[in-house]
Amino acid sequence: YFIYFLLFYPHTLILVSSYHQCLFPLHAGGQYEYILVEKRGEKNNVGFIQLNRPKALNALCDGLMREVGQALDAFEVDGDVGAIVITGSDRAFAAGADIKEMQNRTFQECYGGNFLAHWNRVSTVKKPVIAAVNGFALGGGCELAMMCDIIYAGEKAQFGQPEILLGTIPGAGGTQRLTRAVGKSLAMEMVLTGDRISAQEAKQSGLVSKICPVDQLVSEAVKCGEKIASNSKLVSAMAKEAVNAAFELTLAEGNRLEKRLFHATFATDDRKEGMTAFVEKRKASFQDK
């Protein structure tokens, strides 16, 4: 009967299929429920992750963050991908960890199960990650953006750590990364009052590196990703490791690590190619070797 029905009403199949797509936005592999994943850029070399839980303003439920981790794992081993962009919607990058999911958790569950430890995957990716933030980046949303290497903000973006208003504190780097990014006074004010800052204040204080019109934010972030992806992936990873060391080490230790990594670039074909291309007045062609 169903086949008979489709013979006469073939458009039904399109309706059923698009309804299904709406409910279950899947990427080619079909395993994602809360995010959209694809490759962008002229050379398809920018991994693109869009948080896609609009009804909850992209609240970062456990399933969503597990999927982000899986997508990052896939991009990490994808030889074509040289940079990754994470974004949300125009209204919200992410409004924080999922409060409804956390509401009834006990200390024993949190501590025993190392609650939210897997979020850390975002900060351990070797490839450069750019957060493109439109709308709210609150609590865990702000922390997720700060786990990325570069933050671009849309003109209407708002950043905040409002956990104090819920009787808790930031738990995914908010007190640490925010303080390093904007300094003690502003970080204290944000963490203790829960007040948000605008994109302009975020730019002024060094939290974000660029502000873009809302509708151009994602393409600007992808452009930045393409620029990064056109360099050697191997050497980019070393550069990222060196900059990140500035947050972990003393100046002397950091400079020492930097020097060792700099020396290590001389073991790569790409360093040779880069300098040879300069001398021969041509564009370098990096092989990630």
- Binding footprint of ligand HXC on the chain (CB under 6 A): 56-57, 59, 95-100, 116, 136, 138-140, 143, 162-163, 166, 170-172
31: which residues sit within 8 A by CB, 6+ positions away?
67, 70
Quote the least distance from Cβ 93 to ligand HXC, whole Å.
10
Q: Which one of the listed residues 67, 163, 226, 258 is annotated catalytic?
A: 163
| 28 or 117: CB nearest ligand HXC | 117
Token code pair at residue 188 = 């204290």
| 136 or 152: CB nearest ligand HXC | 136
Quote the least distance from Cβ 39 to ligand HXC, whole Å.
28
Residue 163 is among the residues annotated as catalytic for this protein? yes
Residue 167 is among the residues annotated as catalytic for this protein? no
Q: Which one of the listed residues 97, 131, 132, 181 is annotated catalytic?
A: 97
Token code pair at residue 242 = 């060196």
Separation of alpha carbons 237 and 83, rounded Å: 10
Q: Which one of the listed residues 94, 95, 131, 143 is annotated catalytic?
A: 143
Residue 131 is among the residues annotated as catalytic for this protein? no
Q: Which amino acid is at 123?
A: S
Any bridge partners for residue 152, and if so which?
132, 210
Residue 101 is among the residues annotated as catalytic for this protein? no
Q: For residues 38 and 14, is the Cβ–Cβ distance under 8 A? A: no
Q: For residues 174 and 143, is the Cβ–Cβ distance under 8 A? A: yes
Question: HSE of 53 in the Cβ direction (CA atoms, 13 Å)?
Answer: 24
Quote the least distance from Cβ 170 to ligand HXC, whole Å.
6
Quote the least distance from Cβ 100 to ligand HXC, whole Å.
5
| 10 or 167: CB nearest ligand HXC | 167
Q: For residues 128 and 83, is the Cβ–Cβ distance under 8 A? A: yes
| 139 or 154: CB nearest ligand HXC | 139
Token code pair at residue 247 = 């947050």
Catalytic residues, which ones?
A: 97, 140, 143, 163
